[in-house]
């Protein structure tokens, strides 16, 4: 599916997918940017500030590692279901499976 076909199928969901991919790229770059501050803190002898920047970098790296799989799953579902509302379809499928698991 090309970008043009993605926008034809559902503009709102195409914008969400593109936004998620952009956030993935930005969060990966920003995580490396924070490393500079942690390095400056440790060389200045501020261990508490160093730990703070390392925690911030870890949280951002965690968010980055989760963004790509989530975006890929949403894009795959949009391709699979075509013009239907893929996000709503995904939520319905998950709820249906959870109800089946509860009744078993």
CA trace torsion 95, 79, 21, 70 (10° rounding): 30
Q: What is the pLDDT of residues 73-89, one digit of tens each?
A: 877 877 776 655 666 66
DSSP 65: H
Confidence of residue 90 (pLDDT cuts 50, 70, 90): low
- In the chain, where the domains are located: 3-103
**pTM: predicted TM-score of the whole model, two decimal places:** 0.64
* DSSP string over 40-102: HHHHHT-HHHHHHHHHHHHHHHHHHHHHHHHHHHHHHHHHHHTTS-HHHHHHHHHHHHHHHHH
- Phi then psi dihedrals of residue 103, to 5 deg: -85, -15
Q: How many CA atoms lie within 13 A of 61 on its CB side?
A: 11
Q: What is the pLDDT of residues 30-56, one digit of tens each?
A: 878 888 888 899 999 999 999 999 999
């Amino acid at each position: 599916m090309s970008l043009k076909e993605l926008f034809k199928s559902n503009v709102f969901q195409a914008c969400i997918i593109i936004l998620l991919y952009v956030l993935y790229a930005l969060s990966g770059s920003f995580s490396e940017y924070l490393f500079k501050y942690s390095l400056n803190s440790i060389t200045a002898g501020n261990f508490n500030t160093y730990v703070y920047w390392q925690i911030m970098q870890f949280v951002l790296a965690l968010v980055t590692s989760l963004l790509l799989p989530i975006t890929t799953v949403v894009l795959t579902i949009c391709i699979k279901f075509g013009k239907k509302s893929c996000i709503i379809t995904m939520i319905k499928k998950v709820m249906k499976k959870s109800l089946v698991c509860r009744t078993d």
